[in-house]
Amino acid sequence: MSNKRIYLSSPHMSEEGYEMRYIKEAFDTNWIAPLGKNVDEFEKEMASYIGVAHAAALVSGTAALHLAIKLCGVKQGDFVICSDLTFSATVNPVSYENGIQVFVDCEPDTWNMDPRALEKALKKYPHAKAVIVANLYGTPAKLDQISQLCSKYNVPLIEDAAESLGATYKGVQTGTFGKYAALSFNGNKIITTSGGGMFLANDMDAVKKVRFWATQARDPAPHYQHSEIGYNYRMSNVVAGIGRGQLKILEQHIAKKQQIYQMYKEGLKGLPLHMNPYDPSSKPNFWLSCILIDKDSPVTPTMIRETLEKQNIESRPIWKPMHMQPVFEKNEYITIENGRDFGRGIFERGLCLPSDVNMKEEEQIHVIGIIKGCF
Which amino acid is it at 81? I
Mean pLDDT in residue range 362-372: 98
Cβ-based neighbour number of residue 188 at 10 Å: 17
CA–CA gap between residue 321 and residue 347 (Å, rounded) = 7
Spatial separation of the C-alpha atoms in residues 210 and 200, rounded to whole Å: 10
The answer as to whether 2 is a domain residue is no
- Domain-embedded: residue 9: no
Q: Say yes or no: 261 and 198 in one domain.
A: no
**Could you report the per-residue pLDDT of 129-139, keeping only the tens digit for each?**
999 999 999 99
Residue 324's domain comprises: 250-374
DSSP state of 320: P
Quote the CA–CA distance of 198 and 187 in Å, as a whole number.
14
State the Cα torsion 328-334-337-342 to the nearest 10°. Answer: -60
Residue 3 lies in a domain: no
**What is the reported pLDDT for 365?**
98
Residue 272 and residue 230 share a domain: no
pLDDT tens, 310-353?
A: 999 999 999 999 999 999 999 999 999 888 999 999 999 999 99
CATH number of the domain enclosing 198: 3.40.640.10
In a domain, 330, yes or no: yes
- One domain, residues 243 and 340: no
d(CA 223, CA 93): 31
3-state helix, strand, coil in the chain (%, to 5): 40, 15, 45
Collect all residues with Cβ–Cβ distance below 8 Å to 184 and sequence separation of at least 6: 60, 61, 62, 89, 162, 163, 196, 197
* Residue 301, domain member (yes or no): yes
**3-state class (DSSP) for residue 195:** coil
The β-bridge partners of 102 are: 81
Same domain for 224 and 335? no
Whether residues 119 and 206 fall in one domain: yes
Tell which residue, 190, 201, 213, has the closest CA to residue 93: 213
On whether the CB atoms of residues 13 and 254 are closer than 8 A, the answer is: no
Do 271 and 200 have their domain in common?
no
Within-domain flag for 369: yes
Choose the final residue of a domain: 197, 232, 247: 247
Q: What pLDDT is stored for residue 137 in this prediction?
A: 98
pLDDT (average), residues 142-163: 98
| Percentage of residues in the chain having pLDDT higher than 90 | 94
**Among residues 259, 252, 100, which one has the least CA distance to residue 190?**
252
Please indicate, yes or no, whether residues 199 and 261 belong to a single structural domain of this protein: no
- The whole-number pLDDT of residue 30 equals 78
pLDDT of 264-319, one tens digit each? 999 999 999 999 999 999 999 999 999 999 999 999 999 999 999 999 999 999 99
DSSP string, 235-287: PPHHHHHHHHHHHTTHHHHHHHHHHHHHHHHHHTTTSSEEEPP--TTEE----
d(CA 71, CA 202): 14
* Domain total in the chain: 2
- Domain check: are 285 and 305 in the same one? yes
Mean pLDDT of 5-19: 95
In-domain check, residue 4: no
* Nearest CA-CA partner of 43 in 185, 232, 244, 194: 244
Alpha-helix runs per DSSP H in 115-214 = 115-124, 143-152, 204-214
- What number of other Cβ atoms are within 10 A of residue 308's Cβ? 21
Burial 211-244 (b: 16+ CB within 10 A, else e): bbbbeeeeeeeeeeeeeeeebebbbbbbbbbbbb
Please give the average per-residue pLDDT across 28-56, as a whole number: 91
Burial class (CB in 10 A: 0-12, 13-18, 19+), 163: buried
Lateral strand order in the sheet of 273-275:
273-275, 290-293, 350-352, 316-317
Which element (helix H / strand E) includes 303? Answer: helix 301-310
- The predicted model gives 231-237 an average pLDDT of 96
Distances in Å between the Cα of 253 and the Cα atoms of 218, 247, 249, 289 are 39, 10, 6, 14
Amino acid 80: pLDDT: 98
Distance (Å, whole) CA 144 – CA 136: 16
Residues 221 and 341 in one domain: no
Domain assignment present for residue 8? The answer is no
Same domain assignment for residues 351 and 208: no
CATH number at residue 360: 3.90.1150.10
Listed residues 197, 226, 247: the one ending a domain? 247
In this prediction, residue 1 carries a pLDDT of 64
The mean pLDDT of 222-244, rounded to a whole number, is 95
- If asked whether residues 122 and 84 sit together in one domain, one would say yes
Mean pLDDT across 217-223: 93
pLDDT of amino acid 179: 98
Query: Which among 227, 247, 267 is the end of a domain?
Result: 247
Which whole number is the average pLDDT over 119-129?
Answer: 98
The verdict on 162 and 85 lying in the same domain is yes
CB burial of residue 339 (10 Å; 0-12, 13-18, 19+): exposed
DSSP code per residue over 1-61? ---PPBPSS-----TT-HHHHHHHHHHHTT--SSSSHHHHHHHHHHHHHHT-SEEEEES-H
